[in-house]
């Protein structure tokens, strides 16, 4: 049973507008959340993360919001650019001793239209 869920398989957005990607989780032991970006024929690359003690983390055009009570996080990309077209995976890490493992969502494919 997937503990990290990305319920939107795809998202299409106009260049310059905001992209909002959502992720829900079920395991209350998750204490760190990460977003990865993946281009075709390449491995995923780390994008941004957030600790469970925070509710927001910002890095340039990327902001991740965490709502622990709702077990929900979102990734905002503002403004969206054509190079942002990729698959985005949400991932979560649990407390030790299993903290070396990440649980991944199914991914959301983002297409940025010119």
Partner 1 sequence: DVKVTQSSRYLVKRTGEKVFLECVQDMDHENMFWYRQDPGLGLRLIYFSYDVKMKEKGDIPEGYSVSREKKERFSLILESASTNQTSMYLCASSSLRKTSGPYEQYFGPGTRLTVT
Nearer Cβ to partner 1 (71/93): 93
Stretches 21-29, 58-66, 72-80, 101-109: which one binds partner 1 (CB under 8 A)?
101-109
Instruction: Verify binding: residue 23, partner 1, rule CB under 8 A.
Output: no
Name the minimum Å distance from CB 64 to partner 1. 12
Give the one residue of 6, 19, 63, 85 binding partner 1; rule: CB under 8 A: 6
What is the b/e burial string over 71-81, where b = at least 16 CB atoms within 10 angstroms of the residue's CB? bebbbbbeebe
Q: Could you please report the per-residue DSSP string of 6-41?
A: ---SEEEEETTS-EEEEEEE--TTEEEEEEEEE-TT
Give the one residue of 8, 49, 74, 111 binding partner 1; rule: CB under 8 A: 49
């Amino acid at each position: 049973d997937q503990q990290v869920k990305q319920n939107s398989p795809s998202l299409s957005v106009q260049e310059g507008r905001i992209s909002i990607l959502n992720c829900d989780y079920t395991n209350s032991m998750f204490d760190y959340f990460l977003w990865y970006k993946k281009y075709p024929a390449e491995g995923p690359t780390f994008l941004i993360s957030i600790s469970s003690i925070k509710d927001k983390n910002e890095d340039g055009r990327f902001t991740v919001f965490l709502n622990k009570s709702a077990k929900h996080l979102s990734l905002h990309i503002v403004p969206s650019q054509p190079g942002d077209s990729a698959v985005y995976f949400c991932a979560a890490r649990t407390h030790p001793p299993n903290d070396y493992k990440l649980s991944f969502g199914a991914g959301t494919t983002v297409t940025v239209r010119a």
